[in-house]
Every structure is written in structure tokens, then in C-alpha cells.
Chains A and B, each alone.
Chain A
Amino acid sequence: MSNLLPFVVVGLASGALYGLAGTGLVLTYKTSGVFNFAHGAVASAGAYAFYELRTQRGLPWPVAAALCLVVVGPAMGLGLERLGRALADASSAMRVVATVGLMLAIQGGLQMLYGTTTRTFDPFLPTTTFRLFGVVIGWDQVLVVVVALAATAGLAWFFRKSPLGMAMRAVVDDRDLLELSGTSSVLVSQAAWAIGSTFAVATGVLIAPSLGLDAILLTLLVVQAFGAAAVGAFSSLARTFAGGLVIGVLAAITQRYVGDVPTLIGVPASLPFIVLFVALLIQRTPHVSERLQVARDNLTIGVSRSSTTLVGAVLAGVAVIALPSLVGPRLPIYTQGVVFVLVFLSLGLLVRTSGQVSLCHAGFVAVGAAAFAHLTSGAGLPWLIALVAAGCVTVPIGALVAIPAIRLSGVHLALATFGFGILLQRLAYPSAAMFGTFGFRSASRPALPGLDLTTDARFYAVAVIVVALCTTAIVVLRRGRLGRLLLAMSDSPAGLEATGVSVNTARVLVFCAAAFFAGIAGALFSAATGSADQNSYDAFASLLWLAVLAISGRGPLRSAVVAALLLTVVPSYIEGDVAQLQLVVFGSAAIWAAVASARTDASQRRLDSALSRAREGGPRSPFGARRNDPGWRSPLTDRAPERVHAAAGR
């Protein structure tokens, strides 16, 4: 036991920081309803600001820290509040898209400014140590815990007792009512966002010395606060902080045992995501029927396919056939583009058709790629059979992810799938069953007797044919019964259930189908690049893909093609290293797309509610009305419904 104590101390220090970040996250989520996926990015921006002020500009650290906490944190908070307000009328899927976009943009921006290599971040707290019960404890660790605890306790007190804190809780309950009572709800939520961001900044500044300055690592570390927030059921500040401590300590203790069991190497770092996934699953978060649509395809079922789409299809066909002779050495890039059409189609099946936000699509693709490499190079199956089998192997993974989808919707499903994607990457990617310790496996292109299909031009043709077949299958699915059920489910799960459909079956099916096609895409991609490489399927790629899909317009097919071109082909025409620029551009565009969708939604809704208000009928009770009983209508509009109609503009 005594040799565990040092790990507990380390765990408490890091856990306190998770708790600190988590409470900031919960505060903003509670008051605005917008779950900030960019919370970790805000923290890393804070750490970079501190680094800039202190190391680059030479300010003393207390001044730099004060500037970060008093200026940088609140300033970012105000910006976020503006974004949150713009998203107030957005669907929950679009809210996810917006904050995911922000996270990508901040990450990309920081990497563009400061480079992708980790910079050392000199410690600023005293690193001297003392002994307690035989355990060496750093003063910096003590300070971190004290600061985090004090900040959280202060916030909890503030939330309960102070007038502004009460106003924040009032914003949660009823924004309009608060406005009526004379308090500006904007001011209140600005305060909440300012506090939440400052907490994130503080976490970033405090966590950076032990980690170094790395935008991705910092973001990821603070993302662990999602697990803490899940323990707090996204509402309790105290439980969130406790959750952070538990996660920190558990991770540190497992670290102690990993040395003995090498297969558990990924467990300590994955623990927060295990907690996130499990907490989401076991908590009672009822399937509220939120409005849950990504800018949805104006799909018209069974209605004429217009001549423009026919022309478009012919043009696209000509382009696809002419491409090899036009693009020369870039052809492999276009092959990848073709494969990504399938990736985006399968993602669209989930996100657009069924309205379920999934953030682990890269995991599906990775499983397909790894399975394909095993089946061709390892088991020596014929190429085509291995391709289909790779898709089939991915199906159970899709079914596994569908389990949270049965219980969760909206942002909670997004979080659960995000956690699952990271778990898959940390725990499964390095295992022998997937990419193995080297992180990649070779994957071959098809070779028929007497027909070599391995050249770039011929493999391009193979990819086009496979993707075209899969696209046809997806279109048939969408136009068939399943497509109708999924579209109906995304509009109203309760309504669909009332017709006799067991919506859970539909939920599981769409995840299985999406996983199948994503698995095939993964197999094709690995064959295109010659190897299944785990770096191609980073869990964060799922976020980027969602952002790209969200900015690619409407229309299930066209958006997939546009998204694939944006992600793979367009960057190849830009000189230099574009990875960071891509993050910034796609991230910003995703934010913009989400805000734009909120605007159209809001104007539509205002019109609807104006119409329905004007249409309220008169009382038809023979008994008069109970006072203040909204069930009985006020006796104003009884006599002239026609006139009411006219007033409503219908």
C-alpha cells in the first residue's frame, strides 16, 4: 500500500486539474446549453498565452499569470458567449459541429504560430519538495491542489449564494423569465462563460509545466475533464471535481501496475475516457426528443429525379473516366479522394440521415484497414473477399457503438462516441489484433491472374468501381424502407415508435451499415497507400471529418463528393505544409456553417410560432374557465376564426 502513496499524490495533483477544468466546462454547459468541445483548446490557448507573455516577452510569471486569468480567459469567454448565443437556435448536432470546429481552429492556429514541436515550459511554481508519511511531495503539487480546490469551492459557493450565481441558475431554468424580472440574461451568461474559460486557462497554465507546450497534448489532457463532467452528470460542480480527483488517482495507480503488464500500456491514459463512456452509459440521461438535425438534405422520396441531377451524374461520370489522363502523377491523391467519398457517405448515413452525431468514424475506418491487412497479407484471402470481409469485421464494432446510441442522443451521444474513438485508438490500435507494435501493416492491391491491377491507373479504376457499387447500395438503402425510417427517426423518434417501429433496431442497423461501408473504405484506403497505418486514422480525424462534412452543403451524394475533394484533393494543390491551415480553415468554416444554420432555423421557428399563436382557437367550455388554466382558452378569438386566419397570413 505504502508504495502506492506516491502515485496517489501524483494522481491528486493531476485529478485536481481535471476537476478544475471540468467545473468550468459544466458551468458553461449548464448556463448556455452549449457543450464546449473546445474547452481543452481554450486551456491550451491559455497556456500558450502564458508562455508568450512570460518566456517570449520576459514578463515576471505572476504578471503573466494575472494577465492570463484577468484578460485572456475572460476575453475568450466573451467570445465564446457570443458564439453560444449565435448557436442558441441551432440543432444539437450543429452545436457539436461548431465547438468541434472551434477546437480544430484553435489547435491549428496555435500550431501555425508556434510550430508543431513540443516546447519546454519552465516550471514557475516552487519545485522544492517535502516528506509526509514517507512520501515525497512537491510544493507545486500542493499548490495546484489548493488552487483548484479553492477555485471550485469558491465557484460552488458563488453559484449558490451570490446574486449573480443565482441569476446564472435562473438562466438555466428560464432565460425569458429572468429577462422579465429585469436582469440581463446576456450579462449573466457572459459572466458564466468568462468564469468557465478562466478556469480552463488556469488549468492550461498549471498543467503545462508537467507536460510541455504541445497544442494537441494539452487539448487532449483537458479533454479528460469530459470524463469528470460526466461523473458530475454535467450538472453538479462538486461531483465533477470529485470525478476529476477519482480519474486522476485511478489513472496514476494503474500507471503503477502497467510496468508489470505491458499489454495494459494504454490503460492509464485511456482511463478518463473509460470513465466518460461508462458514466454516460449508466447514468439516467433520458432520450429527450431534441431537435437533432444537421442541415438536412432536402430529400424527396420517390419524387422525380430531376434532369439536373442526371446531367450532374453524367458530367461526374465523364470527369471520373477522364481523370487519369488529366491529373498525371496526382492520380493517387484522387484515388484517396474517391475512397473518402465512401467515408463521407457512410458518415452521412449516420449524421445526416439518422441525425445521430458520431465522433468515432476514424475508428471504423481503422478497423476495416487493419482487418483487410490481416486478411490479405496475413490470411492470404483473395483480394475482393478480404475487402468485403473487412467491412463485415467492422460491423460488430458499429453494433458496439450503437449501445450508447440506444440510451443517448445529441451531445451525449457525440461525447460517448468521441470517448469510444479515443479508447479504440489507445487500447486497440497498438494491439496485435489491429496495427501491432509497429503501428502499420502492409496491404496489397489486387492482382488477378493475367491482369495486373496494382498500377496507379488500374487501381484508381478498381477504387472507382468499388466505391460506385457501395454508393449504389447506400442510395438503395436510403431510398428504401430503412432510409424512410431513419429520416423519420431523426425528425421524431417518439412519432416513429408510435407507429410500431422498434427504434432501437433502426439505431443499431444504421450504425452497423455505416460501420460496414466505413470498413470497406478503410480497406480500400490501406490498399491505395500500400499499408494500413494507424496514424492515418487518428481519433481526432473523426472530428475533422465531421467539420468537413458539415461545410460541404446539402444533398447526400454531392456533399460527400465535395467533402472528399476538400479533405484530400484540394490541399494537394497548395504549396507547403497545409495540415495546420486545413484545421484552421475547416474549423472556422464549420463554425460559420453552424451559426448560419441556426439563423435559418430561428427565422423559420419564429414564423411557425407566430402562426400557431395566431391560430389559437376560442373557448368551448360550457362551464367557463378555471382561472390561470392554460388548458382552457381565453375567450377572445372565438367568434371569427376566419379573421384569425387572415391575420395569420393563411
Chain B
Amino acid sequence: MSTGLEIEGLTVRFGGLVAVDGLSLAAPSGSITGLIGPNGAGKSTTFNACCGVVRPAEGRILLDGRDLAGVSVSGRARLGLGRTFQQMELFESLPVRVNVALGREGALAGRSPLSHVLSRRSERNAIEAAADAAVEACELSEVADRPVQELSTGQRRLVELARALAGQYRFLLLDEPSSGLDTHETRRFAEVVERAVDEHGVGVLMVEHDMDLVLSSCSHIHVIDFGRPLFQGTPDEVRSSEIVRAAYLGTEVVV
């Protein structure tokens, strides 16, 4: 059964601060769902709760119907939940190809000491194939042998995306993928994501500031503020929503 990612009544508290307050949303497979909101709205906290970095006080997070409570960060990745980072977490000293290949190899290594040391030939072939496909899809072939630290921000974002694609996850969480990218790079990034969704039926939940990217790529958008849902709908509905406009502009109007 592939229903994608479901968040049910999620509440996260940091001490006395309620960062996310009873949030529910569904991000179905085979489509891109956007999660937007002003700074401090609880986007990142929601995101971190999905990845298992933050423990929710209440509520459930389901991946294809399976409750993720108590599953470790790496365990969620092994269950098919991939992610990227706002502050990119790349293997800076390693070549692009190795970075991408580790996206697949990581899940195979898993948690068993034996699989950390030994790799079967069939696994190696699968890793090769996945890395090739991901490098190809992200158009990174030319820089495949260069260490990541030598690349530009735009290319590095693509490397991180390629690593996630190589992992062949059923669902991807993208944390502000466009930050640091220019318009062209953002467009290219979006195209790769959209293709992965179309061709492989991957589900995507994207936390993003860049409204152009969200409005053009997402099929459904959730707007939150103060940890609570504010509005949800299609890009067109969001674009014309007075509530959203008011939340973003607030009282400090800067036009």
C-alpha cells in the first residue's frame, strides 16, 4: 500500500514553547506537497519530527500506513523515507559519485556490523546502477569525479538530491532545497524532482521559502503559522487567498 506520508495531530513542544500544535496533513505518493509558512511557523520542526530528529509530544506520523513512532533516524531511511538538509550535509572530501552511491549503499549497510564490512556483488551492481541513474538524472556526469567541496552551491544541492534519488526512497522530504540557488538552478532542481515523481511515483514533501518554486511544482500546498494549519489548497487557491496574504504580510507591511 502506498499512501505516502501522513501526519496526524502532531504536537511538538520545546519546554514551554509549543512549536507545532495539533498539525495534520497528508502528502500522498506520486505528487509534490508543499509546506510553507512564515519563519517560526513550525515548518522545520514538523520536518524534523518526520525525520525522527525531534520527538513529538503527541500525534502520529505514518509512512505508507506504518507508524514511525520509535523508529530511529536511520531506520526511517531504511523504511523508505529520504531527506535533504537545509544546511547541506554532504561528504565534502569525497567525490560526487561516491556521495551519490552512498545514498544507496547506506541503506544496504544498515545497522548490521557484517553488512558494514562486506558487500555482495549483486549489491555492488545495484549501487552502481542506482548511482549512475541518479548522477545522470541530476546532470552531474561532468563533475562526477570531483570532490564535493569544490562545487558550487547549486551543484552541491543537486548532489544531495542525487544522493537521495539513488536511495530509491518511496518518499522524499526536501528542506528548503532552493536556498542558495539562483532561478535557473532552482528550475533545474525542480525539474529533476518532478521527473522522479512522474517516473517513479515518489512522494515529496517540500518545506520551502521560494514561492515560485512551491507554486509551480506542488500539486497541493499547506500553509501553517504558529504551528497550526492556516490554509490548504492548490497553488491557485493559495495564490488568491487573503488569509495567506495577511499571514505573510502581517502588520509590518513591506511592499
Chain A contacts to B: CB under 8 angstroms = 289, 293, 296, 298-303, 477, 480-482, 484-485, 487-488, 491-492, 494-506, 508-509, 604, 608, 611-612, 615-618, 620-627, 629-632, 638, 641, 644-645, 648, 650
Contacts and interface: CB of A to CB of B under 8 A. Distances in A.
Interface in B10-29: none
Given A627-B252, A631-B39, A499 B107 contact: yes
B180 A500 contact: no
B167 A495 contact: no
Interface in B106-122: 106-113, 115-119
Nearest to A616: B180
A617 B239 contact: no
Contacts of A480: 117-119
Given A506-B116, A620-B213, A301 B183 contact: no
A300 B95 contact: yes
Contacts of A612: 153, 180
Contacts of A604: 149
12 contacts: A300-B95, A488-B99, A492-B92, A494-B85, A497-B73, A498-B83, A500-B107, A501-B107, A615-B182, A616-B180, A621-B211, A623-B249
A638 B103 CA distance: 33
B51 interface: yes
A405 to B, nearest CB: 15
A624 B249 CA distance: 7
B95 A301 contact: yes
A650 B151 CA distance: 10
B184 A499 contact: no
Contacts of B110: 500-502
Interface in B199-255: 209-213, 215, 239, 244-245, 248-250, 252-255
A93 to B, nearest CB: 14
A279 to B, nearest CB: 24
B170 interface: no
Contacts of B191: none
Given A495-B85, A621-B211, 18 more contacts: A289-B89, A298-B93, A477-B117, A480-B118, A496-B102, A498-B83, A500-B167, A501-B109, A506-B109, A509-B117, A615-B153, A617-B186, A621-B210, A625-B254, A626-B38, A626-B252, A641-B182, A641-B183
A628 to B, nearest CB: 8
A484 B249 contact: no
Contacts, number: 187
Contacts of A488: 91, 94, 98-99, 102
A629 B167 contact: no
Contacts of B152: 611, 615, 648, 650
A485 B109 contact: yes
Nearest to A510: B116
Given A494-B85, A499-B107, A615-B153, A481 B119 contact: yes
Contact of B112 (A289, A296, A505): A505
B55 interface: no
Contact of A617 (B38, B111, B180, B250): B180
B39 A626 contact: yes
A491 B92 contact: yes
Interface stretch (B1-9, B62-70, B74-82, B135-143): B74-82
Nearest to B72: A502
Contact of B90 (A301, A495, A608, A638): A495
A626 B106 contact: no
Contacts of A608: 149
A500 B81 CA distance: 9
Nearest to B107: A500
B77 A482 contact: no
B194 interface: no
A477 B152 CA distance: 32
Nearest to A498: B83
B255 A620 contact: no
B89 A495 contact: yes
B48 to A, nearest CB: 11
Contacts of A494: 85, 89
A60 B90 CA distance: 62
A644 B51 contact: no
B81 to A, nearest CB: 9
Contacts of A621: 209-211, 248
Interface residues of B, number: 68
Contacts of A618: 182-183
A622 B212 CA distance: 8
A75 B245 CA distance: 61
A583 to B, nearest CB: 32
A296 B94 CA distance: 11
B74 A501 contact: yes
Contacts of B95: 300-301, 303
Contact of A505 (B73, B89, B113, B182): B113
A495 B84 CA distance: 8
Contacts of B94: 301, 484, 487-488, 491
B60 interface: no
A343 to B, nearest CB: 22
B181 interface: yes
B111 A498 contact: no
Nearest to B73: A497
A496 to B, nearest CB: 6
B153 A495 contact: no
Nearest to B210: A620
Nearest to A491: B91
A634 to B, nearest CB: 11
A485 B91 CA distance: 10
A396 to B, nearest CB: 14
Contacts of B98: 301-302, 484, 488
B95 to A, nearest CB: 7
B204 to A, nearest CB: 15
B116 A622 contact: no
A481 B91 contact: no
Contacts of B213: 620
Nearest to B123: A481
Interface centre among A492, A498, A509, A650 (most CB of B within 10 A): A498
> Which of B167, B180, B215 has most A Cβ within 10 Å?
B180
B77 A499 contact: yes
B31 interface: no
B211 A623 contact: yes
Nearest to A297: B93
**Among A296, A302, A477, A629, residue most surrounded by chain B Cβ atoms (within 10 Å):** A629
Given A289-B89, A498-B77, A626-B249, A484 B116 contact: no
A650 B244 CA distance: 38
Contacts of B72: 502
A638 B182 CA distance: 8
A498 B73 contact: yes
Nearest to A501: B106
A617 B254 contact: no
Given A481-B116, A626-B248, A492 B90 contact: yes
B154 interface: yes
A58 to B, nearest CB: 58
Interface string B166-193: 0100000000001011111110000000
B77 A497 contact: yes
B116 A500 contact: no
Given A488-B94, A505-B113, A650-B152, A500 B106 contact: yes
A133 to B, nearest CB: 46
A481 B117 contact: yes
B182 A644 contact: yes
A626 B40 CA distance: 12
A453 B8 CA distance: 72
B182 A482 contact: no
